[in-house]
């Protein structure tokens, strides 16, 4: 199988998973590796494969595996709080929309949306322990939300710039403040 241009141009290596199920993910902590299944290489055209790989490179760019390791830990220890699961699902959705947006700057958004539809229409993985829990099947409305976000043009430059905020450590303290006061409740 030929190496996609986006991987070859950056000298990035990918691990090949010998399964017919289309699968691609960044796996690791701080320096994740790209894992691609044989089924994905056989399912997608080279252009669609480039779009999906670019989406995964966005996850690498934003260090999603690192941040979602810690956020997943917080999700587990706060599972007893109301709305934790819905907040977690919303966070996962926003992570994917952010990666889609980053990838759409480098590849055609329509191509990316087509790739997403191809991946969604593929058979789902049946083994629960095959992949990370944040890749569980999601409601069709989440995919519709992602496709709508890809296909709608930004209304202005400020809408585009809203995605380009810089991470500030003070926001982390602000976000974790509710967790810090939980032990003081009766």
| Tens-digit pLDDT profile for residues 91-150 | 999 999 999 999 999 999 999 999 999 988 876 655 554 445 545 556 667 888 999 999
Per DSSP, helices labelled H in 13-151 are 38-43, 46-61, 64-77, 84-104, 109-121, 140-151
Taking the model in full, what pTM does it have? 0.73
Neighbours of 107 (CB within 10 A): 19
pLDDT tens string 62-89: 999 999 999 999 999 999 999 999 999 9
């Amino acid at each position: 199988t030929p190496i996609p241009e986006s991987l070859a141009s950056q000298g990035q290596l990918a691990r090949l998973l010998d399964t017919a199920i289309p699968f691609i993910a960044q796996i690791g902590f701080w320096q994740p590796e790209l894992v691609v299944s044989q089924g994905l290489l056989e399912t997608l055209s080279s252009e669609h494969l480039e779009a999906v790989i670019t989406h995964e490179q966005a996850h690498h760019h934003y260090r999603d595996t690192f941040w979602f390791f810690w956020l997943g830990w917080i999700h587990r220890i706060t599972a007893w709080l109301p709305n934790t699961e819905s907040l977690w699902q919303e966070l996962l959705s926003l992570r994917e929309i952010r990666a889609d947006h980053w990838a759409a700057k480098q590849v055609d958004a329509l191509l990316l949306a087509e790739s997403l539809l191809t991946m969604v229409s593929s058979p789902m993985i049946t083994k629960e322990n095959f992949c990370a829990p944040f890749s569980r099947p999601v409601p069709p409305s989440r995919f519709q939300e992602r496709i709508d976000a890809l296909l709608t043009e930004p209304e202005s430059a400020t809408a585009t710039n809203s995605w380009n905020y810089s991470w500030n450590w003070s926001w982390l303290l602000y976000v974790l403040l509710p967790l810090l006061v939980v032990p003081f409740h009766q």
